[in-house]
Amino acid sequence: MHIHLIGVCGTGMGALAGLLRDAGHDVSGSDRAFYPPMGPALSALGLRSLPGWDVANLDPAPDLVVVGNVCRKDNPEAVAAHERGLRCLSFPGTLNQLFLQDRPGYVVAGTHGKTTTTAILAQLLHAGGRDPGFLIGGVPRGFDRAARLGSPGAPFVIEGDEYDSAYFEKTPKFWQYNPRVVILTSVEHDHVDIYPDPASYRAAFEGLIARIPEDGLLVAYAGDPEVRELAKQARCPVRFYALASDDCGDVAPIYSAALAAVEAGAQPFDLFGGGSFLSRVYSPLSGAHNARNVLAAVIAAVEGAGLQLGAALETVPHLAGVKRRQELLGVAGSVYVYEDFAHHPTAVRETLRGLRSLHPRGKLIAAFEPRSATASRRMHQDDYPGAFLSADVTLIAPVGRPEIPADQRLDVDAIVAELMRAGKQAEATPDVRSVAARVAAHAQPGDVVVLMSNGDFGGVYDEVLVALTPLG
């Protein structure tokens, strides 16, 4: 059938478009712009790309219209689709009805680490011969696309986004993912445009856990107090995991990992199960947060899908990450330049710690664009200065949502002042265009630069590489 996606350039929607194409459907999609990385990926799929919102995009009438949650209720295509009586579904509703009815959902949920952990779990199951389906909310480096059908009846691994489904369906996406095995990485109040307080945010995860059947599995991070409390509500078995150094309260994790010093770009850790040493593991993904991600995925693969532990661990050294997660853009002027999606203070802190462990020498220069609905507001005002302490130099661009009232908007100057009081170099850039020049002014050969934004950071990535080139 002909399926049209409104808002197709979102990472999840773009991945869904690929799934629909693989399932034999005629797929078209519209969006405001077809920006990378998803725009080129959609072109490679041969998708009919229709720039802009236009009712003409619904001619001839599609059999199904998938309305992305980027669409507001006044979107002209969505309005016309409803007025014409066309069948309309949300993104998760489409996944549920077309792909998940007869397949166990392996859902990776949590405030942090979802995308990377989903990609790792998909790689483990693929290497283990399970031929899983998957849908990843990013572009994985270990596969040629962000989604794959896999074999009928095989596990379907999916990034469990807690955001609402659509303007006409105000429920969390992951409630519709037929969860049988769930990884819960963390729960920190986020998406304040949808969840005004911590209780409403927590309720979304309570609903997910309630949907795991008694013979399912919950893989839960014991170092997060919210996760520990939520896990008490599970009807199914729970497997807690953590690093040996994590504060786990009154919970004794069944699985734990003790980090060792980075070796030749790999993060080694000792894996323990039931208090006994199991294996030394070498992960190519740096940082404590990625060790937790690997550990969670290994547990889900072994205890949820029945992989042999040895086979799963043999795959770990060959794991590939996800684009925009500590992704090395290039080396210019002998300066390493990374891109990362980090925007929440916890993600910023862990990303910087990971890069510092990978590059212990040279300055670490962090350039940050507060752009998400949460990052643009003051709800984490006091947390950001501490998040940047691993960086030697911090550059903060203007808030990406100037429409937020000034008294609610993140105070960039206050963060800069706090970092300077802590003895760090920090500055607020007047605009994103000046970021490249400021990075080049601070950088020297051997330094490391990371550009952090959940948006496109004004497209400064190439400009930074060009500005650094003369340093070499």
Q: Of 318, 349, 383, which one is at a domain's C-terminal end?
A: 318
Mean per-residue pLDDT, 233-249: 96
Q: Tens digits of per-residue pLDDT, 89-124? A: 999 999 999 999 989 999 999 988 888 899 999 999
50 pLDDT band, cuts 50/70/90, is confident
Residue that wins the pLDDT comparison between 374 and 48: 48
Mean pLDDT of 210-219: 97
- 209 has a pLDDT exceeding 90: yes
Query: Does residue 95 sit within a domain?
Result: no
Whether residues 146 and 19 fall in one domain: no
Same structural domain for residues 184 and 238?
Answer: yes
Contact 388, 394 (CB under 8 A): yes
pLDDT band at 145 (very low <50, low <70, confident <90, very high): confident
Domain end position, chosen among 34, 65, 90: 90
Output the pLDDT for position 431.
Answer: 86
CATH code at 433? Answer: 3.90.190.20
Q: What is the CATH number of the domain that holds 42?
A: 3.40.50.720
Instruction: Dump pLDDT digits (tens) for 19-44.
Output: 999 999 999 999 987 766 677 778 77
pTM: 0.80
Q: Average model confidence (pLDDT) for the chain?
A: 89
Q: Are 320 and 140 contacting, i.e. CB atoms less than 8 angstroms apart?
A: yes
* CA–CA dist 328, 346 (Å, integer): 21
> In 124-203, where do the E strands start and end?
133-135, 147-148, 156-160, 164-166, 169-172, 179-184
| 243 and 367 housed in the same domain | no
Q: Indicate whether 132 and 215 sit together in one domain.
A: yes
290 and 342 both lie in a single domain: no
Q: Rounded to whole angstroms, how far apart are CA atoms 95 and 135? A: 10
H or E segment to which residue 425 belongs: strand 425-428
Together in a domain, 287 and 429: no
When pLDDT is averaged across residues 152-179 and rounded to a whole number, the result is 92
Domain assignment present for 243: yes
CA torsion sign for 150, 151, 153, 154 is negative
pLDDT surpassing 90 at residue 245:
yes
Mean pLDDT throughout 360-369?
91
Confidence band, pLDDT 50/70/90 cuts, at residue 188: confident
One domain, residues 22 and 171: no
Q: What is the number of structural domains in the chain?
A: 3
Distances, alpha carbon 350 to alpha carbons 283, 289, 375, 389, in Å? 16, 6, 16, 11
For residue 349, the model assigns a pLDDT of: 87
Question: What is the pLDDT at residue 358?
Answer: 79
Q: Is residue 125 part of a domain?
A: yes
Report the pLDDT averaged over residues 372-400: 87
Verify that 176 and 105 share a domain, yes or no.
yes
Do 8 and 133 sit in the same domain of this protein?
no
Residues 6+ apart with CB under 8 A from 224: 185, 186, 187
Whether omega before 37 lies within 30 degrees of 0, making that bond cis, reads yes
pLDDT in tens, 197-207: 889 999 999 99
314 and 362 both lie in a single domain:
no
What is the tens place of the pLDDT at every residue in 338-355?
Answer: 888 877 888 888 889 888
- The last residue of one of the domains, among 34, 64, 90, is 90
**85 and 104 in a common domain:** no
Q: Are 106 and 65 part of one and the same domain?
A: no
Tell me the residue range of the domain where 36 lies.
2-90
Residues 411-447: tens digit of each pLDDT = 888 999 999 999 999 999 988 888 888 988 999 999 9
Find the mean pLDDT for residues 169-178. Answer: 93
Greater confidence (373 vs 245) lies with 245
Q: Is the pLDDT of residue 54 over 70?
A: yes
